Structure 1
């Protein structure tokens, strides 16, 4: 039996998964604060894509530079060399889902929604990925516990639309884009093991963020996107977002390649809790009762899915 790596040891895997989820939760307020500091308004789609593209392009360059310095292989693995075209198309699809489409929808949706609401709604990706993993991977079996946990988690998401007129209603550019982003994230997570079979996952993550970021910058510029008001504080928010992407994706994608997908993905249900709380603290958003209900239900869903796991 091969020796377990640090990413497979239960305590370290949990710590790394928690770290990625905690960091991603902070992305919600930092993005909205960045929009405000750079004077990017809700109708400036090109500028939002440019802002996102710069973040992910630089993050990808950092990861690829570290990969080069640590002498990681940039070549396809032996099993993938017989079908270079197929492997390249697979990596391109992963790049589009993991970065370009994923975050184009995310940035547009977040600018039309409260950060706390978007954070909880985005937890849809967690439960979708848990179910998809059961369908595609033998290491993730569909059990009654998982079905009940996912049902309760979905209930938390649906509770976002409870309440009166002042509590907010579904909008395509807000909630719709966040849901699209969540689905892209779920399918990208499902593809991570396929990436690892074709190329070093660290390198694959760098390509995904770097190329995916560039594919956001180009249309952003074509649409007339700019950063209207550059300040030191704005650059600080951008640097924090770059750090979140670099650390979060590196840890998360590596964990998905060597652990049951559901065991890792379910930790992302902490993202809405962190995102909702930090958005209310940093953005002075009102913490509505339905956020507490949604966060509680998603957390209960996590507990039920993980209950009894060794």
Structure 2
């Protein structure tokens, strides 16, 4: 398995595949909101929906870990505290912002805005890692990336469209993701990557459900056969994508793998244009995608950073 995960072509194929899976979450969730008849302003319904999804995703990862490495699923009291903290920030808080923000922006906007997490991680890394300081190449990448994010929100009338509970929440989702990434790197040492993913998914999901289920309105979620298919796919895409991603990170340099994250906003935007009837790729969107992709590639290039493995 190690040789397979370190093979050049295996790395490329798996990194691209996992990035496309993560990108597909944007149109899938937008279509799910319509299929489940979730109102755009129904925060509780979206919290509950997110909790159900990530509880299933967490169980899938933990069951897989139980099969391949049963001892790795057991954690100490201190490790459980770390995983609970990650569950609160990386699952509960991040996806509170993500699910509620995505309901008020297009799938393409969401895919581009969510890429802020990559750029926030670079900024935070400057303060937390002595060997990962800011340099002119990273600054150039950040400028390109954030310019792309601004361009993604530029309206047809050349005005900047921004709402705190829409675009703002998507940016906050990226920020909480960046904070959790740094925390996981610092606090989750010695825990199997699949255990980190499975436990923090499950614990964060339980928190969301404890808040959501008691307050869920009648008929707030309407399950249909197609809705069930979307729900199961969304849980699978999270468990499979994160399992592949962490496996690649375990056996390869982080900088080499992270560069493929530019595919997430690109695939998310293209898939949104394909599967969401009212969304179309425009010159502005393509330009925004190009700037974000260039920014992600620059800040994760070998020349632009030292590896934090």
Question: How far apart are the structure 2 equivalents of 1:197 and 1:308?
Answer: 24
Question: How far apart are the structure 2 equivalents of 1:193 and 1:9?
Answer: 25
| CA apart distance, 1:142 | 3.8
- 1:235 aligns to 2:233 (yes or no): no
Q: Secondary structure at the match of 2:152?
A: helix
Q: Secondary structure at the match of 1:197?
A: coil
Structure 2 portions without partners, runs of 5+: none
- 1:56 aligns to 2:50 (yes or no): no
Q: Which residue of 2 aligns with 1:286?
A: 280
Q: Which residue of 2 aligns with 1:253?
A: 246
Question: How far apart are the structure 1 equivalents of 2:10 and 2:188?
Answer: 20
Deviation larger for 61-70 or 160-169: 160-169
Q: Structure 1 runs of 4+ off > 6 angstroms?
A: none
CA-to-aligned-CA distance 1:60-114 (integer Å, 9 cap, x gap):
11111111122332234xxxx6xx44x3332222112221111111000011111
Contact kept? 1:46, 1:224, Cα under 8 Å: yes
Question: How far apart are the structure 2 equivalents of 1:10 and 1:143?
Answer: 28
Q: Which residue of 2 aligns with 1:106?
A: 98
| CA apart distance, 1:237 | 0.6
Aligned residues: 301
* TM-score, normalising length: structure 1: 0.87
Structure 1 portions without partners, runs of 5+: none
Q: Secondary structure at the match of 1:170?
A: coil
* TM-score, normalising length: structure 2: 0.87
| CA apart distance, 1:195 | 5.3
CA-to-aligned-CA distance 1:280-299 (integer Å, 9 cap, x gap):
11111132332111101112
| CA apart distance, 1:48 | 0.9
Map 1:171-250 → 2, pairs under 5 A = 171-194=163-186, 196-225=188-217, 228-250=221-243
Question: How far apart are the structure 2 equivalents of 1:213 and 1:8?
Answer: 33
CA-to-aligned-CA distance 1:203-250 (integer Å, 9 cap, x gap):
121101111112112211122255532111011111110111111121
RMSD between aligned residues: 2.6
Q: Secondary structure at the match of 2:70?
A: coil
Q: Which residue of 1 aligns with 2:66?
A: 68
| CA apart distance, 1:172 | 0.9
Contact kept? 1:120, 1:276, Cα under 8 Å: yes
